[in-house]
Amino acid sequence: MSPATEYEVLFYKRPNGNCPTIELLLDLPVKVRAKFEKWIKYLEVQGPDLTRPYADVLRDKIRELRLKFGSNQYRFLYFFHGKAVVFTHAFVKKTDKVPEEEIEKAIRFMNDFLVRTTGR
């Protein structure tokens, strides 16, 4: 029996309807997408309790789902909104640290999501 899902997974969409996370996923190999789906299931059940090596906290409510496949490292940035996990975007990581501009982009997307869904 599988554990009950605690958190709903949502994907941020820009005002024009484009979804940055899905856009990247569609460009990735099928095996990478399958691994991402597996990690999402962990996140749905464990929520903020999911830690390294699967997930980590960055800053300002932004977290990362960490996925390594072959020599590539993928990062899927997200935040929690109540009982929802909201993925903002994803990228292929090429440096030791998550680039500051990727965190800033996630914060912008988070703020846009919150304004459009809650009015704040």
Angstrom distance (rounded) from CA 80 to CA 72 = 26
For residues 17-33, average pLDDT: 94
- 73 vs 3 pLDDT, higher one: 73
Render pLDDT for 94-120 as a digit per residue (tens, 0 to 9). 888 899 999 999 999 999 999 999 876
pLDDT at 1: 36
In the chain, the domains with their CATH numbers are 8-118 (3.30.2310.20)
For the four alpha carbons of 35, 19, 94 and 98, in that order, the dihedral sign comes to negative
Task: Using alpha carbons, list the distances in angstroms from residue 12 to 20, 45, 52, 96, 119.
Answer: 7, 20, 23, 26, 16
Half-sphere exposure of 4 (CA within 13 A, CB side): 1
pLDDT digits (tens, 9 = 90+) for 32-68: 999 999 999 999 999 999 988 899 999 999 999 999 9
Res. 3: pLDDT tops 70? no
What are 70-88's pLDDT values in tens digits?
A: 888 999 999 999 999 999 9
User: Which residue, among 56, 46, 44, has the nearest Cα to 85 in the 3D structure?
Assistant: 44
Tell how strand 72-81 and strand 84-93 pair up.
antiparallel
In the prediction, which pLDDT does 118 show? Answer: 84
HSE-up (13 A, CA, CB side) for residue 44:
13
Question: What pLDDT score does 70 carry?
Answer: 87
Tell me the pLDDT band of 4, cut-offs 50, 70 and 90.
low
